[in-house]
Structure formats: structure tokens, C-alpha cells
Chains A and B, each alone.
Chain A
Amino acid sequence: MDAGLLQQMLLGALLGLSVYLPLRCGQLSLASPGFYAIGGTIAALLSTRLPALGGASATYPISSVLLEMGLAAALTGAIAAAIGSVVLRLRGIYLAIATIALVEILRVITLNLAITGGALGIFGIPQPFNGPEGYAFFTAALLALVCWLCDRLERTRPGLAMAAIRDDELAAASQGIDTAQIKLLAFVLSAVVAGITGVVAAHFLNSWNAKLGNFDASITTLAFVVLGGSRTWLGPVLGGLLLTALPEVLRPVGDLRLIVFGLVILLGPLLFPQGLISPERLQSLGRLWPGPKRLGRQAP
């Protein structure tokens, strides 16, 4: 497989996880592309404007990329904490609308600021790797780390609280769960994942502009989770990988690919309303598998 496509798929999986985290506690937030854009812009600005990070050398140091990721995580986390405590009072579709507005505001700001290069964006972002293979390795490691964290989250107290809030927020609060705090935690984690993904994407894409975090991206990333499933982290990862690959895989069929892509997005939720992956499906798969204990939480 083409390493460039693989890299895009891995980025798609990371964005899927970012949308998944709030959705797992029932919060339909479409803010991920906004935080992705913040991360990308931070990476683009720092690596092109700050010579101290080593932008002039032939290969940009990985340590600088990690530093950018740290900064992006801190900034997106802080912004999400500030915004989240206000917008998370909204429910359902109103939260979705508010987060779409957030993405649009960020896009318009990026479009109009001189420092972010206006409509053209920022070019010549230095490369830490010589080819897409290096990026794919790096991103795969990052994805593995985020998956591991999501897995631990799901198996521990906050994960159970998130599931309870998704099922019935009022009843969850009546069990002593600080629902506002748990929802904010999910929102902040989601923003941090999107932010660090943006950093990697900015280097990989070599240029960064306002179009990369727009409303279309919100809907596409939501489709990752809707197709893959929002009950366990494996769902959005699979959805992100599949739906990022699909347009490329379908390139031979020409213009028909948009129709096929649309059909997949339409048929997926119709045939699998819970998404392709649900804990129950994993469990029944596990029963077929005679080998060691599977991923599902419940022991038989």
C-alpha cells in the first residue's frame, strides 16, 4: 500500500477518536476540526518562524515536533476547558450548532490574520521525515498510544461514568457523578487529540491553510464515528481508516466514486445502526476466536 495514503488513513483514525470521545458520553460536538486547525497552525507557525527549532536543517528534528505537539496539546486543552464549561451546557443538536460556530470562527480568524498567511496559508513547513514511510511509522505509534489511553479510559471509572451519561444524564447525576466535569474531561481530551493530530498533519502536508478545518471536515469526521460505531474506541479507528481510504481506493471508477462514497455513508448506519463495531459484536467475535482472552470488557 502507498505509505502516503496509509498516513492519511492514520490521521483519519486519530480524528475519528477525537470526535468519538465526546460522543461516547452522548455529546455531539463537531469542534474537532477546529482544534485540529489550531494544532496545525501552531506547528506551521513555530516551525517556519522560529529558527531555534531547527527549521533550516535538512531534516527537522523530531524533538521539535514533539515540542510543538506538547504546546498544541496545552493550548487546545486550555481553549477547550474554557469554551467547554460554557458550551457543554447545551444539549444535543444545540451543542453541535455551537461547535460548528466555533469551527467557523476559527476558520475566519485564520483566513484574515496576516500571521497565518491569509487565504494562501503557510508554505514550506519543514519535514522531520524524508518520506511518507517515516510519517506513517510516527503516526502509527501516536495512534497506538491514543488507542491505549482510550482503552484504559473505557475500562476505568471515568469511562463508565461517560457511558452512564450517554445513556441517561439525569440518572447519572443522581448516582453522584459530576456530569459537567466528566463531559468537560471528554471535550478536553477530544481537543488535545485533534490538536496533536493537526501538528503531525501540518508537517506531512507541507502547507497549512484555513480550509483544512472547515465544516466539511466536521461532517466527514463525524461520519467516521457514525460508520465505525461510538461505543468503543475500535469503531472510530476503523471508520477513520476505511472512510479515508475509500475515495482513493475508488479512484479507478472515476466520478462514480462520489456516489459510492455517499452510498457507504448512507448504508452503513442503515445496516449497522450501532456502527460496524459494538461491544456485543466484539463479544460474539470473541466467542468464535478460540485463542487468548479478547478485548471485550466482560468475562464470560
Chain B
Amino acid sequence: MTAPLLALDGLSCRFGGLVAVGQVSFAVQPGEIFGLLGPNGAGKTTLFNLISGITPPSGGSVHWRGSTITGLPSHRIARLGIARTFQNLRLFGSLSCLENVLVGLHKRSRQPLIPALLGNGLFRRRQAQLEEEALALLRLLDLEPWAKQRAASLAYGDRRRLEIARALATGPELLLLDEPAAGLNPREKQELSALIRSIREQFNLSVLIIEHHVPLMMELCDRLAVLNFGERIALGTPEQVRRDPAVIEAYLGTSR
């Protein structure tokens, strides 16, 4: 087996007395779609925040391609190739869709100072190139007609896809999707599943996905981890997880 892309080792996060994430370990392999399931408040989003450097962990470590990245600031983690979307959409509302994706290209959009100051042909060609790249991503997510529109004016489902386009622009090897299907209608949910697969093929990346919609996860994910009260209670293929007594207990309770 190849070295894991991302490995969590006993990762913990405490807020005062509350253990939001307790001693969670798992590894995501290259090319894998890895799902995180769990009831509300199980610590899934907190886990994303720990991985992406938004919240510092209280214990344990995060490894990226074998080297530790625990405690790095979030912009450094993003530059390493870990992109994320947000559960409650955090787009740049006053910028156009195209500009939102251009922000995602930040890592690669550095231009030499003098041409940038002069705005000469060299600068404009490079800028056009970047815009074409951004447009291609918008096209991929069926957002091209709205390229010049402000992100805040988009419909909900379109905003969710714009977040994915922006995340892809950072050139990730691992994409963290936080409830990408929340608020989508059944048809959009179906399309999302196909979209995530095609993104994996096209960009050759791994996906770590949080989602409540269990049928979607069972169909989409190669492997799943289930969290409850901050602890990992199950790990395995969808079929293994479906039969796991601890999962059934967490979701349905025990019979007395």
C-alpha cells in the first residue's frame, strides 16, 4: 500500500470541558473518496477545521504526505494542496463569480512587479490566461453564464458549486467538502454525486466529504468513518459501516 495522502493521528480538540474531537485517527489514500458520517454535533466540521488549520488541535497530529502539518496557519495548509468548502457557504459576496475563482488562483497568480504596475501586454496576457483558467472552472460547474454576477446574488445551489470551483482553483490534491449536498434538491443531489466523481477523475485528487445524506454517501464513498460525540466509532467500506453495531446504535439507539 502506498503512503497515505493525509493521516490523522490521535487528533483531539477540546473547547473548555467539551471534547469536540477525541483521539480521532484515520488515513486518506491518494485517489480515494473518503466519507465522514455522524449525527449533528459529532465533531465533523471541527475535524475539518483542525485539518485546514482554522482551529489549532489540543492534541494529536496531522500528517500530509508523511510530514507533520499540525498547527500550520490555514493559508500554508491551503498552499500545500488541501482545499475546502464551508458548510455555511463563505463566498466573497461582493466579488463576481469569476473574481471568486480568481482568488482561488492566488497561489499561482503572482505577477512580476513592473509589468503589473504598467499593466502592459505581458501583464494583460497573463491576466487573460488566469481568467481563462477561472472561466474553465466555472464552465465545468455550469456557472459560466453567471461569471460577471456578484456571488451573493446567486441561487443557493449555484453558490455551493461556486465554492467547489473556488476550492478547485487552488490546485488541491485533497478536497474537503463540508456538507456539499445540504439544501440541494433531490435532482441536484444526484448530479452532485456524479460531479464529485468526475472531479476526482479529471483533477486526479482525493476527496474527504462530510454529508448527512446517507444514501448519497453509501453510493459515493470508497470508505467511511463514523463519528459520534467526537470519537470515531466505525471505519470501513460502506458495506462494513452499514452493518457495524456501533453505528446502528448511534443512529437508532439500543433496544432494551
Contacts and interface: CB of A to CB of B under 8 A. Distances in A.
A298 B106 contact: no
Nearest to B74: A173
Interface string A138-166: 00000000000100100111001101101
A6 to B, nearest CB: 28
Contact of A160 (B91, B102, B148, B169): B102
B99 A163 contact: yes
Contact of A157 (B93, B110, B117): B110
B91 to A, nearest CB: 7
Interface residues of B, number: 33
Given A176-B78, A179-B75, A171 B170 contact: no
B103 A161 contact: yes
A164 B92 contact: yes
The winner among A174, A177, A231 for most chain B CB atoms within 10 A is A174
A176 B111 contact: no
B111 A175 contact: no
A165 B193 CA distance: 31
A173 B148 CA distance: 23
Contacts of A168: 90-93
A297 B148 CA distance: 11
Given A173-B74, A175-B106, A157 B92 contact: no
Contact of A156 (B74, B94, B103, B116): B116
B130 to A, nearest CB: 9
B72 to A, nearest CB: 11
A172 B94 CA distance: 13
B232 interface: no
A171 B86 contact: yes
A216 interface: no
Contacts of B111: 156-157
Contact of A175 (B93, B119, B148, B166): B166
Interface of A: 149, 152, 155-157, 160-161, 163-164, 166-168, 170-179, 231, 298
Given A160-B102, A174-B74, 15 more contacts: A152-B119, A156-B111, A157-B110, A160-B103, A160-B106, A166-B94, A167-B93, A167-B94, A171-B86, A171-B92, A172-B103, A174-B83, A175-B170, A176-B78, A231-B94
Which 10 pairs from chain A and chain B are nearest by CB?
A167-B92, A176-B78, A171-B90, A173-B74, A176-B107, A164-B103, A176-B79, A173-B75, A156-B116, A168-B90
